[in-house]
Amino acid sequence: MICCGQKNYLSSFLKHGNTLILSSSSYNQQGRIGFEYLRLRKSRNLTKFDCTGVILAGGTNSRLPGKKKTFRQVGGKSILEQIHTLFTGLFKEVILVVNDPEDFTGIDAMVVTDISPTRCALAGLHSGLFYASFPWIYATACDVPFVSEAVIRHLWAHRTKGKEIIIPRTREGLEPLFALYHKNCLPRMEKNLEENCFMIKKIFKPRRVREIPPDILEKLDPKMQFKFNVNTPEDLETARKMAGESGKK
C-alpha cells in the first residue's frame, strides 16, 4: 500500500504490493504518480486496451446493511472480484474510487478517493477520470455482478472522432455508469461539481455523445444482465438465483 505524502512512495509501493492509494491531497501529484504506476505495470499490459477501468465503490450501502455490497458473494466470488478480474484482463490500468481506502488494500489496482467532497456518482466519475493515465476510461458501479465483456468491447470498438462519451441506451434510457468517457469531459464535470449540479447526464453534449441502441445491446447481452445492480437484500438474492445459487451471505 502506498499513501500520498510519503517521500519514498515508489519504493513503498514495491515493498507493500500492488495497491496504490491516492487521496485528494495527491491532486497536484497525479501526473507523476500515475506515470510511475503505469510504468511498473507496462510489461503486463501489452495486449490490453489503452484505457482505464474505473470501479465506483464509494456508495453508502444504506439499503443493504452489513459489509460493503461489493464484497458480497455472487456465483462463488465477490462482486468486486468479478469486476476486477474482467477489468484487469481488458484494461491496462484499473482504478477504484472509494470512501474508505483501508478496506481495499491488497487489490491490484490504484485506489483513490474523491477530489470533490460531494460524495456523489459524478464526483467519483470525475476522480477516476482525473487520475486515469489514459485518455479514456470505462466506468462502472461496484455492485454489478454481471459486467459484460461483449458490451465493453463493442463500446470500445465504436469510438469515433469527435465523440467523448460512448454510452449504452437500454429500453429504460441511457446508462451513464456503464460507459466510456474521454478526458475532454473533465472541465464540464468540474464546472458542474462546483455549481452543485450532480446529475451525470448534465455533462452530456449531444454532438459529443455516441449511443449504442437497445437492439445492439440485446444481441450482445440477450438477458441484459450487464446493468443489473445489487442495492437491497432482495436484489442480492435475485443475483444469486441468476448466477445459479442461493442462500449465501
Give the model's pLDDT for residue 42: 54
Residue 170 DSSP symbol: E
In a domain, 247, yes or no: no
Calpha distance 44→93 (Å, rounded) = 10
pLDDT at 239: 97
- Cell numbers at residue 137, please? 476510461
Position 32 scores a pLDDT of: 47
Query: Is 5 within the bounds of a domain?
Result: no
pLDDT at 14: 33
Structural domains counted in the chain: 1
Give residue 17's pLDDT.
Answer: 43
The pLDDT score that the predictor gives to residue 38 is 55
Supply 146's cell numbers: 454481471
**Measured distance CA(69)–CA(56) in Å, rounded:** 12
Domain contains 8:
no
For 213-224, write each residue's pLDDT tens digit: 999 999 999 999
28 in a structural domain: yes
Residue whose C-alpha cell is 444504506: 62
- List the beta strands (DSSP E) in 122-164: 136-141
Give me the domain span that covers residue 165: 18-242
Residue 97 domain flag: yes
Q: What pLDDT is recorded for position 134?
A: 97
Does 184 reside within a domain? yes
Distance CA 119, CA 116 (A): 7
Low-confidence ranges of the chain (pLDDT < 50): 1-17, 29-33, 43, 246-247
pLDDT at 64: 84
- 73: part of which helix (H) or strand (E)? strand 73-74
The CATH number for 176's domain is: 3.90.550.10
pLDDT of residue 204: 97
* 6 assigned to some structural domain: no
Let me know if residue 7 belongs to a domain. Answer: no
* Helical axes 30-41 vs 9-16, angle rounded to 10°: 40
